[in-house]
Amino acid sequence: MLLIGEQPGGKRRIHQRPDAWQVRACWPWLEAEISRLSPDVVVTLAATAGQAMFGSSFRINAHRGTCLDRHSPGLAAQGRDALTVVPTIHPSAVLRAEDRDAALAGLVSDLREAGQVLARQ
């Protein structure tokens, strides 16, 4: 018997992943924020944020800690072609990891990559 929110294998999800329509509904606000703030780098936390930026085929473990370009119509008006995105895990994943030290080291490494992007600007 599974408890409410419990996944097979004993993992318990407190929060449910948003549906695709909910992510799409929020996209105009995200684009407006990107356009207004014109960030040098965006760090996405977890798979849902990465999939919002790059589509449903995005996999966090395949791309975490790497610099990816995301074309944004809002930046074109500012003369910029793309936004640099560095995906990583959500910090709460460190708390759920079997090897917390390794998970924390990976998160810190990913954030350092984002910092290096800023240092090159």
3-state secondary structure of 71: strand
- Where in the chain are the domains? 39-120
CATH number 3.20.20.480 given to 39-120: no
In this prediction the pTM is 0.80
Q: What is the pLDDT along the chain (121 residues), one digit of tens a residue?
A: 444 555 555 566 667 888 889 988 988 898 888 888 888 899 999 999 999 889 889 999 999 999 999 887 767 767 787 889 999 999 999 998 999 999 999 999 999 999 999 998 7
Cα separation, 17 vs 25, whole angstroms = 14
Q: How many CA atoms lie within 13 A of 95 on its CB side?
A: 4
